[in-house]
Amino acid sequence: MQNLNFLSPMETDAIALSLQVSFVAVVASLPLGILVAWVLARFNFPGRTILDAIVHLPLILPPVVVGYILLITFGRRGVLGSFLNDTLGISIAFSWQGAAVAGAVMAFPLMVRAIRLSMESIEPGLEQAARTLGAGPLHVFLTVTLPLTAPGLLTGCLLAFARSLGEFGATVAFVSNIPGETQTMPLALYALINTPGGESGAFRLVIAAVALSFIALLASEFLARRLSRRLRA
């Protein structure tokens, strides 16, 4: 991203990294989010309540706790991290990819909830009609359920993007605050607040964070309403 005149290189890098991390977090978690939302919306099974609680757990846990769980799981000496590092040479902790994982985990409940509510609002008769015409479950899902879920899908993606954009606690616990590598906007803001003379930079990042989050929320509302009107037409 080209440096803006009113932003320092550090601030510009932090904004660019935040956008990159948030985009990757949404794209990577979207397939699983659709699957989990569909399971919760369409099936009753033993353990459904437990699955629902696990999905929403990041909303109520302190973010630092989530970050620590990620660290002991995906760190180089973690349960899965040691296997990934020793076998595949992949290290997630203390990298921007790890920041994307932290953002995805913290934003996942918002994504799943939006998609699930949209699926639950679909008229069951529409799916049943497709089945009576000979369509298989996968075909019904791809041609009926998923298109009708589009408003919730879009809302979930944009809410998850905005949530990932503002993620701090899990990120700093999992990947630390490394300038140019893991220092997203919230982490850069924290660093500037604790740096003498950093007030002006902190204020600029606050403005940027508020503007980006506000735009994401407005876009979510506008596009969801537009899609809903098209589907009702």
Confidence of residue 217 (pLDDT cuts 50, 70, 90): confident
Q: What DSSP character marks residue 4?
A: P
Report the pLDDT averaged over residues 27-42: 94
Confidence of residue 232 (pLDDT cuts 50, 70, 90): low
Mind giving me the DSSP string for 125-191? Answer: HHHHHHHHTT--HHHHIIIIIHHHTHHHHHHHHHHHHHHHHT--HHHHHHH---TTTT--HHHHHHH
Q: What DSSP character marks residue 5?
A: T
Q: How many residues does the chain have?
A: 233
Architecture of domain 9-232: Orthogonal Bundle (1.10)
Report pLDDT for 57.
Answer: 95
Given a cut of 90, whether residue 132 has pLDDT beyond it is no
Tens digits of residue pLDDT in 58-82: 999 999 999 999 999 998 888 898 8
Percent of the chain surpassing pLDDT 90: 50
Report pLDDT for 29.
Answer: 95
Mean pLDDT of the chain: 88
